[in-house]
Every structure is written in structure tokens, then in C-alpha cells.
Amino acid sequence: MVQIKNLSKEFEEGRVKALNGINLTIKEGEYISIMGPSGSGKSTLLNMIGALDRPTSGEIFINKHNLADVKNLAKFRSKTIGFIFQLHNLIPTLTAKENVLIPMFEARGKGKDKKKKAEVLLKKMNLGKRTDFMPTKMSGGERQRVAIARSLANNPKIILADEPTGDVDSKSGAMIMDILEEINNKEKTTLIVVTHDPVIGARAHRKLKMLDGRFQEEANS
């Protein structure tokens, strides 16, 4: 599902090397965690996999597509990848259902069917009674579950989660990980979680550690 070859990313005209010759293969349906201290390159790597940024050198293949050859990255992302961020990135002036609908705007289908799907996704997140709530009226754990529902709107093949439990309490964090792991198990969606929390990281099937833009151990499987 993901293949990375000799990937490097530099900032400040080469003075900062965020990624330094990364090689990584992730199979379809795999669940991995990427751990490491701040500045180790975890989030930069996730941004590369998610086609949110371009590498300085190296190649990234997602579902056999070389990202360097993809002309419309935004369209590719919307169809292939679901994103979950630490700060959920919900639009505060929209309801939970309206936030989940955002990725579906360009998808084919009737508006009423999309609304129904958003409601079904929120119900799966135990938010059936919160569909018309604004994010400001919801708890941190509830907002993050809305973000998970939004990430599933277009049936992505990959979910990228960057510190998904970093802004919630331990109970909410465990619930969030239970939901993500159920999706990985039932839907066979590839799940990549970046975290600094060793308890969260240890839950993954495969655990990778980064330091100074490199993996500290063999990353291919």
C-alpha cells in the first residue's frame, strides 16, 4: 500500500534535514505506529505519505501510484487517504454532520445520500445524538470522534493519524484508539499512527522508532 524509497526532506536551503534517506514498506491493511521525540521527523514523514508536502529527493508510492506523477494531489488525497490530526481541525461554524460532509462535496452521489452517510458515520462513533451540535458544544473526545468520522467519509484505503490522542484525556484516548483499531480490523484499512505516547504506540501491530530523520531499526517488512 505504501512504498518509500530513499526519501529525504530538507528545510532552510538544506541546513535542516527532517528526513534522511527513509526506506519503508507498509502492506495493505497493516497497522503501524511511528514513535520518536519532537523533531525526529515523524510528522514530516506522515505529511509526505499524505501528499501534503513534496520530498527533496526520493520516491513515494501509494497504492502503486508514484506521487511524483499524480497531477491532482488534492483529488488523489480525497479518494485514497483519511487524515486525523491532534487538534481535529473541525470548522467551528459548522455542525458535526456538516463537518463530516466536507470531504464528500466533490464525490458523486445525491446530497441526501451523503447526509445519510454522515449520520451513519457519526452514529458509529457513538455521536448519533450530536449530529447537529457545533464543535464548541462538544468535548475534546467527541470532537476527535467527529474528525474520525470525517476521515472515513470517502472510504479511504489509508488512515493517517498524527497524535490522535494528544489533546484528550486517557479514557477518551483509549476509546479513540479502540475505534481506529476496529476500523483497521473490520475494514482492513491501512492505519498509520504517529505518537509520542509509548502506551499508544505499543498497541500497533508493527512499531517503528525515529530519531534525527531516520528509523532506529529496520522499517521494511
> Which whole number is the average pLDDT over 12-37?
91
Sorted by where each begins, the domain ranges of the chain are: 2-215
Class of domain 2-215: alpha beta
Tell me which of 217 and 91 has the higher pLDDT: 91
- Checking if the pLDDT of 106 tops 90, the result is no
The reported pTM is 0.88
**Residues 176-206: pLDDT tens digits?**
899 999 999 999 999 999 998 899 999 999 9
* pLDDT bucket at 107, cuts 50 / 70 / 90: low
Phi, psi values for residue 20, rounded to 5°? -135, 80
* pLDDT bucket at 75, cuts 50 / 70 / 90: confident
- Checking if the pLDDT of 1 tops 80, the result is yes
Tell me which residue of 216, 188, 197, 193 sits closest to 206, measured CA to CA: 193
| Identity at 94, one-letter amino acid code | L
- Checking if the pLDDT of 86 tops 90, the result is no
| Mean pLDDT, the chain, whole residue set | 90
Question: Contact, 147 vs 84, CB < 8 A?
Answer: yes
* pLDDT, position 27: 95
Contacts of 105 (CB under 8 A, 6+ apart): none
SS3 of 26, please?
A: strand
